[in-house]
Structure 1
Amino acid sequence: MGRLSVRRRRTGTIAAVSALGMTAVLGGCGLGGGSDEVTLKLVAADYGDSSANSSQKYWDKLVKEYEAQHPGVKIDVSVYSWTDVDRKVKELVDAGKAPDMAQIGAYADYADKGLLYKADELLGIREQADFVSQLASAGRINGMQYGMPFAASTRLLFYNKALFAGAGLTPPTTWKQLAADAEALKADGVKYPYALPLGPEEAQAETMQWLLSGGGGYVDSMGTYGIDSEENVATLNWLKDDLVGKGLTGPVAPENLNRAAAFSAFAAGDVGMLNGHPSLMKIAAAKGVKFGMVPMPGAEGRTKNSMGVADWMMSFRQNGHAEQVGDFLDFVYSEKNVLAFSREYDLLPVTNSASGAMSGDSQDADLKPFLNALPSSELPPVDKTSWAAVSAAVKKRIGSAVSSDGSPAEVLRALQLTAQKAE
């Protein structure tokens, strides 16, 4: 790549970078080697599940190729686990040492504080237009793109083919059928007929998928929080009475079951059905579990909107390296590199060009059902600075709503008040 064209900034000034990267530094920080060399610092999340496929290896390979084409630019990448990466970036920002780029789970708070470049100050028009539309939209605040989608996934209902065949079942398309299938699996001695992970690890995602399947969601069509809507209350009441209350969700209470444990149980052959994202395919296949995937059942039929998830790339203004950051990100978002990352970690491409290439390639056939769900997917309200607080509250409280003595209406009302206060 290395598109080193002249970029016109919104201010009307023009910044140019020569083919050797011999440029006047746009800010006083980030220098290395000599006055004509720029070092860009990137903090990124680790998508690997072992040292063998750590994201550090992905970035090291990509950076080596980029630096070979750009002798005047160095890229310093630090990769942290998802447990630590958001906190690490916050610590750096709070200490006045913001990285040039961060690839993490949320961008809105930094954008709201005026700390981030807008995408059109970094990327070329072609690169901006290549982002998948609903992912790009989720990265905008007041119409301005601050969060650049980096990785995406959707959710489907996974089912164990052997367990379903043994019970003479077909994949459900409605809640009623899902409950009936779960009853049959329970009668066959299946440990978790439907695994419902509403523990603190990722309860906000499982909850959103169910809210969407009931015709609701965290926000209404105008983007206003509507957590305690009639549709949402009805959805959680159904879960409490028709699934959890009938003993169809296994021996661990949903509020104590985390996603990782549910995935492990599925890979062990102990789960009949659960919501999953693409990485579950590899986990299950490694254990020899034969599985199928279908859209999430809805109250009356298949759910119209799957839940989508995106992680974000952002660039901080502090060091002033907009030109060099933009050129590096053009390289990062090239079709070749987006495809390489998506295939390495079983994730969906965030660009139309890479999505088109993946759709037509037989080696990506296993990801196609997730890819097909992406255009109609709905993302959490990540453009709201309040979402972090709301998500944390959902993780902490939603599991109790479906417990034997829980009240969906009361819990959802409390979450709605939390959301309104956070706004």
Structure 2
Amino acid sequence: MPRRRISARRQWSACTGALVLAAAAAAGCTSPLPDLTDPANRAEGSQTIVWVSSPTLRNASDDARQVLVDAFEQAYPSIKVNLQPGPDNTDRLHEKLSGELSGGSATPDVYSGDVTWPAEFGHDGLALPLNDYFPASFWSQFAPPGTALADNTLIQAMSYRGNVYAVPYFVDYGFLFYRKDLLAQAHLPAPSTWEQLLADARALKNRGLPYQFAWQGDAYEGLTCDWTELLADAYGGQSAAQFATSAGQATAARLASPQALKALDFLRTLIGDGLSPAGVNGFEEPQGDSAFDSGQAAFLRSWDSSWANAVSATSAVADLDKVGVMPLPTFQGQRGPGSSVVGGWNLFVNPHSRNLTADLTFVRWMAGPQAQRILATQFSEIPSNYAVRTSSDVTANTPIMAAAARISPVSRPSSTPDYGELSKKIYSGIHEALPAGPGLPAADPCTTLLKAARAIDPAVHSTLPCDVTGGG
């Protein structure tokens, strides 16, 4: 349905919302709301807010959302949270929320949404710009101490044109899963570079052991994620946050570069040398998990959710002595670990809500140590809060948590309301250059990259070694 543009800004803030956080802090801007961390300033009177959240949390005997609500209401007894389950499909949730909020509905007050939504929802006036209300110190908790705002990957992923439209709730990352037992048999270390992964796979193959590397090669969003990680590695030396903050022209320029050709040649080598399963250019997450869990592949690039699958009773490799997990490798000569794309879910505030103070109290608590520790220790979700994510009791909880503490995150180029179309141009172009298997045809990688770059920005300046005048 067509969306009606609504204003995401109301006269609540004493500071201009167009300022970025750093500028606002320097200007001495403060929130017009009371300090929500001070119990003396908690919302007065009884208030009820509506939180719409899909059942996206895993591995729980209880509903994690209700556990969090119960803990919040105990801490803030004057605020009640009416949990309303959203659709369990992200696209249907998106459709439901955008339709209701575009119509000016005052509920839900708070809603959970995907990491790629902030630019679109901010642009369309469907989310409140939260940097008007939370100081710079609030946002700093999502990155290592001393991290500049421009390098705060999670917050950059929540931002659009200088405003922050969501609070990170819990995160997902890309990881490398590997067979510890197979590498031990071949006296090989776990690969810290992509070149070493190729060498390890060949060595395992020569020994007659499972050796292949499974990843997401189908023409869909998963390929954009895999590609973003490799391209960021090929560009090495740039801030991961700065690498992906710009969409459009910057994305096109990076596609039309020798670094992109290096990343694409790596994927083509995996397929052409038989080091990835036949048909990997049709793999999504389930196919990758299946190849690894059945014992056919020694390596897997996937999300943290794949850990539970790999060590489940139905997996052929369900043994902690067999399965390892680590941050992704990088290219040789670059500082490791490699880049891992940020996924996960976030909390948005409805700009039409009539319960603003209660909304912000809830959102702030959800990002704080109590809620984040519940997510990590009871439900095995990776906390967005950096101090919780790297605390010794959390990192000792599972191998995934230990690996997550060492991740080098990178965001997709989603700082555009047209990210869905941009991602399609990326993954369609990359997929066109991937053969289905060894010896099978595929489009020329150089001209394919140029074609994809021009689909994004027809005026792109190419530094590729192929013909830049013939139209690709």
TM-score w.r.t. the length of structure 1 is 0.80
8 A Cα contact 1:390 1:418, kept in partner? no
Cross-structure match for 2:87: 80
Partner AA of 1:171 in structure 2: A
Summarize the Cα distance change of 1:78–1:142 in structure 2 as closer, same or farther, 3 Å threshold. Answer: same
Using the alignment, how far apart are the partners of 2:419 and 2:168 within structure 1?
17
Cα deviation digits, residues 8-52 of structure 1 (max 9, x gap): 9523896679989555xxxxxxxxxxxxx64422222333357x5
How far is the alpha carbon of 1:344 from its aligned partner?
A: 4.3
Q: Which moved more, 1:321-330 or 1:408-417?
A: 408-417
Cross-structure match for 2:421: 389
Aligned: 1:66 with 2:85: no
8 A Cα contact 1:151 1:342, kept in partner? no
Aligned: 1:278 with 2:321: no
How far is the alpha carbon of 1:234 from its aligned partner?
A: 2.3
How far is the alpha carbon of 1:360 from its aligned partner?
A: 6.9
8 A Cα contact 1:212 1:307, kept in partner? no
Of 227, 234, 240, the residue aligned with 2:255 is 227
Cα deviation digits, residues 62-82 of structure 1 (max 9, x gap): 223333543453423324324
8 A Cα contact 2:158 2:167, kept in partner? yes
Q: Determine helix, strand or coil for the equivalent of 2:443.
A: coil
Partner AA of 2:110 in structure 1: M
Cross-structure match for 1:108: 119
8 A Cα contact 1:214 1:232, kept in partner? yes
Q: Which moved more, 1:217-226 or 1:156-165?
A: 217-226
8 A Cα contact 1:227 1:416, kept in partner? yes
Partner AA of 2:339 in structure 1: S
Summarize the Cα distance change of 1:228–1:10 in structure 2 as closer, same or farther, 3 Å threshold. Answer: same
8 A Cα contact 1:255 1:398, kept in partner? no
Partner AA of 1:335 in structure 2: P
How does 1:23-422 map onto structure 2 within 5 Å?
38-49=47-58, 53=61, 57-68=63-74, 69-71=76-78, 73-83=80-90, 84-97=92-105, 99-105=108-114, 106-123=117-134, 127-132=138-143, 133-188=152-207, 193-199=212-218, 200=220, 202-215=222-235, 223=246, 224-225=250-251, 226-240=254-268, 242-251=269-278, 253-286=279-312, 287=315, 288-289=318-319, 290-301=322-333, 304=336, 305-310=338-343, 311-358=345-392, 362-363=396-397, 366-373=400-407, 376-403=408-435, 404-420=441-457
Cross-structure match for 1:3: none
Using the alignment, how far apart are the partners of 1:356 and 1:155 within structure 2?
17
Unaligned runs of 5+ in 2: 1-10, 16-30, 144-151, 436-440, 461-472
Q: Which moved more, 1:205-214 or 1:396-405?
A: 396-405
How far is the alpha carbon of 1:218 from its aligned partner?
A: 11
How many residues of Structure 1 are paired with residues of Structure 2 in the alignment?
Answer: 395
Cα deviation digits, residues 360-395 of structure 1 (max 9, x gap): 76335651222112xx42221232223222223334
Cα deviation digits, residues 315-369 of structure 1 (max 9, x gap): 1202232211011112222201112113344333222332343567633565122
Using the alignment, how far apart are the partners of 1:58 and 1:44 within structure 2?
11
How far is the alpha carbon of 1:191 from its aligned partner?
A: 6.0
Using the alignment, how far apart are the partners of 2:180 and 2:129 within structure 1?
47
8 A Cα contact 2:213 2:276, kept in partner? yes
How far is the alpha carbon of 1:267 from its aligned partner?
A: 1.8
Cross-structure match for 2:19: none
8 A Cα contact 2:128 2:165, kept in partner? yes
Using the alignment, how far apart are the partners of 1:239 and 1:402 within structure 2?
7
Q: Which moved more, 1:283-292 or 1:363-372?
A: 363-372
Summarize the Cα distance change of 1:71–1:294 in structure 2 as closer, same or farther, 3 Å threshold. Answer: closer
Cα deviation digits, residues 176-209 of structure 1 (max 9, x gap): 3322322233345556611132122611111122
Cα deviation digits, residues 223-245 of structure 1 (max 9, x gap): 322222211022212321x2211
Q: Determine helix, strand or coil for the equivalent of 2:391.
A: helix
8 A Cα contact 1:191 1:250, kept in partner? no
How far is the alpha carbon of 1:115 from its aligned partner?
A: 3.1
| Aligned-pair identity (%) | 19
How far is the alpha carbon of 1:85 from its aligned partner?
A: 2.6
Unaligned runs of 5+ in 1: 1-7, 24-36
Using the alignment, how far apart are the partners of 1:122 and 1:73 within structure 2?
21
How far is the alpha carbon of 1:210 from its aligned partner?
A: 1.9
Using the alignment, how far apart are the partners of 2:196 and 2:140 within structure 1?
41
8 A Cα contact 1:104 1:313, kept in partner? yes
Partner AA of 2:118 in structure 1: Y
TM-score w.r.t. the length of structure 2 is 0.73
8 A Cα contact 1:192 1:250, kept in partner? no
Summarize the Cα distance change of 1:261–1:87 in structure 2 as closer, same or farther, 3 Å threshold. Answer: farther
Partner AA of 2:426 in structure 1: V
Q: Determine helix, strand or coil for the equivalent of 1:80.
A: coil
Using the alignment, how far apart are the partners of 1:184 and 1:20 within structure 2?
62
Aligned: 1:10 with 2:10: no
8 A Cα contact 2:49 2:79, kept in partner? no
Summarize the Cα distance change of 1:215–1:264 in structure 2 as closer, same or farther, 3 Å threshold. Answer: same
Using the alignment, how far apart are the partners of 1:400 and 1:409 within structure 2?
11
Using the alignment, how far apart are the partners of 2:136 and 2:274 within structure 1?
54
Q: Determine helix, strand or coil for the equivalent of 1:183.
A: helix
Using the alignment, how far apart are the partners of 1:65 and 1:219 within structure 2?
36
Q: Determine helix, strand or coil for the equivalent of 2:347.
A: strand
8 A Cα contact 2:79 2:358, kept in partner? no
